[in-house]
Amino acid sequence: MATVTTVTYSANTALAIDLSNLGTSATWVAGQESTEQDNTANKYVDVLVNVKGITGHASTAPVAGASINVYVWGSQESLGTTAIDTLNGTTSTATLAHAAVLSSLRSAGSAVVTVNTAALVYYITPFSIAPLFGGNMPKFWGLFVSHSHAGALGASNNSLFSYTGITYTHT
């Protein structure tokens, strides 16, 4: 008898991270972290992260080439137990000690400025977490977002991130 594999998607789940008025960082080490996601109960084989449009500063136009960058961290234990530098698994602003910490995170997506216009909305393509970690989901994961625009991001950049868990069943 043949085995049938069925893909199952979880309900869309909000990911707590607020980019409202997030300050700029020319080196991308200052940004906002999301709440830690615990995959030990759900055991998703992958997670698809969705990002709604991120609004730039209302009146300060960014310089062409500036970007909004999304990074993913993964860990075998909760950051509440063992932090990664200043990342502690709670939604908050964070300034990494140096660029080497940033390079230890996985780059997941970016929106590059091509037009010097204030208040534009920037889009980041949905991305999967598991491929960033060799095809395996970490037990705990979260996001770190930073940008290099000329001014802070817009004031209404909350509730923009969500994810859908993916599992497979074999019958």
- What's the confidence (pLDDT) of residue 58? 87
pLDDT of residue 1 exceeding 80, the answer is: no
* The CATH classification of domain 6-170, taken from the options 2.60.120, 3.40.50, 2.40.128, 2.40.50: 2.60.120
Sign of the CA dihedral 145, 22, 120, 61?
negative
Residues 119-140, mean pLDDT to the nearest whole number:
96
What pLDDT does residue 171 have? 85
The two structure tokens encoding residue 81:
């137990």
> What pLDDT does residue 53 have?
92
Q: How confident is the model at residue 77 (pLDDT cuts 50, 70, 90)?
A: very high
pLDDT of residue 128: 98
Phi, psi of 146 (to 5 degrees): -140, 165
- For the stretch 151-162, pLDDT in tens is 899 988 888 999
Q: Which pLDDT score, from 0 to 100, does residue 158 have?
A: 87
Question: What residue segments make up the domains of the chain, in order of their start?
Answer: 6-170
- pLDDT at position 156: 86
DSSP string across 34-66: PPPEE-TTT--SEEEEEEPPEE--SSPPPPTT-
Return the pLDDT at 44. 98
**The predicted structure's pLDDT at residue 114:** 92
Greatest CA span in the chain, whole angstroms? 64
Q: Identify the residue whose tokens are 């995170």.
A: 105
Give residues with Cβ within 8 angstroms of 142, minimum separation 6.
33, 34, 35, 36, 37, 72, 73, 79, 87, 89
Q: Which residue in the block uniquely carries the two structure tokens 């869309």?
A: 12
pLDDT at 14 over 80: yes
Q: Is there a contact between 19 and 121 (Cβ–Cβ < 8 Å)?
A: no
